[in-house]
A and B are shown apart, each in its own frame.
Chain A
Amino acid sequence: MKPLIEVRNLGIAYGRPGSWTSVVQGVSFDFARGEAFGLVGESGCGKSTVAYRLLGYGTVNSLAQTGEVLFDGVDLLKLDARSLARLRGNRIALVPQNPTTSLSPGMRVGAQIREMITTHRALPAGMTMERRLAELFTLVGLPDVGHRYPHELSGGQQQRVTIAMAVSCNPDLLVLDEPTTGLDVTTQRQIIQLLQSLRSSIGMAMLYVTHDLALLSQIADRVGVMYAGQLVEIAPCDALLSAPVHPYSRGLIASIPTIDGASSGRGLRGMLRRDQIPSGCKFEPRCDFAKADCKGTPQTLEPVGKERAVACMRWKDIEPAAAELTRAARSPQPDTEVGAVLSVEDLALSYQSPSVLRTFLGKADSIVARDISFELKPGEVVALVGESGSGKSTIARAISGRLQPRSGGIHLDGNALAPVLRRRSVEQLRQIQYIFQNPDASLNPRRRIRSILERPLRHFGIKSDGETLETVLESVGLHAGYLNRFPEQLSGGERQRIAIARALLVNPKLLICDEILSALDVSVQSRIVELLQSLKKQHSVAMLFISHDLAVVQQLADKVAVLYRGELLQMADTATLLESPLHPYTQILLEAAPGLRKDQYVSRSPATPGETSTGGQGCPLAGRCHRQIGKICAESRPPVRSTETGFIRCHIPGSQLVRGNELAAA
């Protein structure tokens, strides 16, 4: 069959006339109508740059130096603006990464889709615009939201709108640039499910760009792995995941945390440094299998077996990766006799201050989190897991003192903590350290690393000598050479290490890690997790680990607390929780986490969708729960039942939950 897209020897450079820097070299691949091709790689490898060229698009500071991009036999790189405009949206459509910024905020979403159809005169014959819009919304699983503005929709709904817009002209090719990166696990899975069904119903080809191999495994037929601007391996998706050939693909796959704890070989070491790329194989500096001649010999894709190609001359010498099962080494159960470092009791949180007027008018206060109680023992890691908006970070804010709780108490070492930051003692401030989600924003860009690290030492009056900083840098896997750099000279992973070092420097009792991995690449993530595991052993510091990623959590946490719409639904030992997720919501979360195999995920439909609860009355899950037993769920607060290692909050009695679990497994 003739391929729909043929990319031949594509080379792209960024810069300006006279000083071009080549970022993509000699990329060639093709795929047929109806096929889903995935491009995967770490950030900065050039995957999005290549993908946008498939729309004939390049930013003003980029230049396609070599090669051609053939779409149905036409070279997109040579087309003029008018013909490109006719193609884009009509025959080649884009689903952008961030729907919040790519939908026009001042325009109703229906009008935005209508605009697309009108521009390309793509209304099917004998159909009114209204019917076509309704059809599109049904197609992407939305109710009729055409009259709404983008901000009235959730992130997942917005992404569905951009998908509806992209398929509105029945394109031949859909280019998806990390379409699910900003979304929750459960929403991610629903979008993937949607794309799969769209593909079978419309029959368009897809180019799916992502850094998330686990997601790709759910949707792509073939995958191209990119490294430093070159394709290093092209293989059918299943073959790649089960037996990667190129050392980089292996490392990438090994870096992915999975819930079952299966891991094949070692993760990637080092990081891509554009200034240290040898003339030969670009992966040589990070490769475990490199020989002396790798450095000088450029590698090109050569066919390996059926439908596979790899750019590594030593692929035959490398023994196939053996999958092995490595569970995170559990620290011995913390002694129950030891008093808790942190205990939180009946915490209720709200961003509004209580007002007499509201009570008088009978308006309910919007409570973000309620009835939050848990404990952390010394050296224990408790993970707080939930979708975005579930109140995870809000709880962390309250513990750190940046949000005054509405009610309830927080105790550190048995002493009550003042609700406001300013009333806490310096010693208390030292003992709780906070690590933020985004290392780009948590380090002052105008200060050198030395000054960033020295400031807390001086502030808390901790004695230090020249070696203190070096020691802490070594403990997070960096060296003293970083002290005189500015944060922008560091990679994201290195910055997060500095942030961790800053927190550890003052010898805290409790570390609050607020989604500290979500801004990082998979390979970087896995190394930060390793770092945290070793720090946990050495420093015996308690950690409150906030994450939406259950796979990461299972590697690190002793206990997991599951949060939904501001309420703790279940708390249990990590192993217990993963093996028998009693609570229906925990089941939903676990099922949505992608593994490395196609798993025919189907999101569960709620048992009684109509019966939702209002805040503070029924179970927060009512209306979404697949095991809802009736009116009682929506109307009365579920009881808290204690289990062996924690508690569970559900109307369904424990014994029935277990039975339901076994049924689901069978």
Chain B
Amino acid sequence: MTAIVSRPARSLHGWHTTPGPFKAGAVILGVHLLFAIVGVFWTPYGYAEMGAGLPLSGTSWQHPMGLDQIGRDVFSRFMYGAHIVLLLSFAGTVLGMVTGAAIGLISGYVGGWLDDILQRVVEAMISIPFLALALVMIIAAGPALAGQPALIIVVVAIVYAPRITRIARAAAMEVATREYVAAAELRGEGTLSVVFREILPNTANVLLVEFSLRLSYAPILIGALGFLGFGIRPPTPEWGLMISENRNLLIASPMTVFGPGLGLASLVIGFNLFTDGLSRMLGQRPVMGA
């Protein structure tokens, strides 16, 4: 009798034994983090400083990503914008994770009509394309809130929560059949106690990989919102917004668009490699799909 049990990985082994993707991803993310921290405190020019150079004068050593239409240094804006993407992605995913995991674990463990109702709601939300859902929510929030970082965070969370709910529910249903859960029930433990003491620790691997996977898609969602003009309010240099602002310069000064684009791309690739490696280390298979 061999029960297939995901072994708890308590010690992350030494660096040399970790999978290659994990290392590559960690390095890319480390560079991003460093870049973002430096960008908050120091940039070659102010991120909103107009006239840093001649507008549209192309790339040079002074302006590695060129200048935009009103003469702002794109590289400075790019540097300053780095922490915005990271923070928004992280905060949004954490919020979505907490709500999604809590709902999913309880739904999966309790079952019955509660599970039926919650799952129909979740399915309804997943059936709406995520960008459309996000846009509807931003429009519904009204002009007063539009462009606020808090709104973006909530939108990311609401888009992610249903997807995380399903993963958490499936994991909880599997763990709920284990005998240590029955042992806790036989002690007369309450639902929340069983869910958070017995089930949550044993779904941690699944949830961690899911978190990392969601985190890797968050920059795309935030960038897309920024590009469409529903993201952070200008002149704050969010990368998606920068691509949108500078897209007319694509021919004249391509680095003004490619710079932020490459930033987004490398961030997403970094997250993805990291997730891939992490899931291999934890013995889980990430479920792809936005």
Contact = CB atoms under 8 A, between A and B. Distances in A.
A446 B199 CA distance: 10
Contact of A445 (B186, B197, B202): B202
Contacts of B204: 446
A459 B188 contact: yes
A459 B201 CA distance: 19
A488 B3 contact: no
Contacts of A402: 182, 185-186
B178 interface: yes
Nearest to B183: A442
B186 A442 contact: no
B286 to A, nearest CB: 21
Interface in B166-203: 178-180, 182-189, 197-198, 201-202
Interface residues of B, number: 22
Contacts of A98: 1
B8 interface: yes
Contacts of B183: 434, 436, 442, 502
Interface in A441-471: 441-447, 455-456, 459-460
Contacts of B287: none
Interface string A85-120: 000000000000010000000000000000000000
B182 A460 contact: no
Contacts of A374: none
Given A436-B179, A444-B180, A429 B187 contact: yes
A402 B187 CA distance: 11
A441 B202 contact: no
Interface in A565-600: none
A137 to B, nearest CB: 28
Interface in B1-38: 1, 3, 5, 7-8, 10
Contacts of A444: 180, 197-198, 201-202
B272 to A, nearest CB: 26
Interface string B52-82: 0000000000000000000000000000000
B1 to A, nearest CB: 7
A134 interface: no
Interface in B192-231: 197-198, 201-202, 204
Nearest to B204: A446
Interface string B123-157: 00000000000000000000000000000000000
A182 B2 CA distance: 11
A52 interface: no
Nearest to B203: A446
B120 to A, nearest CB: 23
Contacts of B186: 400-402, 421, 429, 432-434
B179 A438 contact: yes
A424 B185 CA distance: 12
A361 to B, nearest CB: 25
Nearest to A422: B188
A421 B180 CA distance: 16
B178 A441 contact: yes
Nearest to A502: B183
Contacts of A443: 180
Nearest to A456: B187
A519 B197 CA distance: 26
What 5 A-B pairs are tightest by C-beta distance, nearest first? A446-B201, A442-B179, A436-B179, A441-B179, A444-B180
Given A421-B188, A442-B183, A445-B5, 12 more contacts: A98-B1, A426-B188, A429-B188, A432-B186, A433-B186, A438-B1, A442-B182, A444-B180, A455-B197, A456-B187, A488-B7, A488-B8
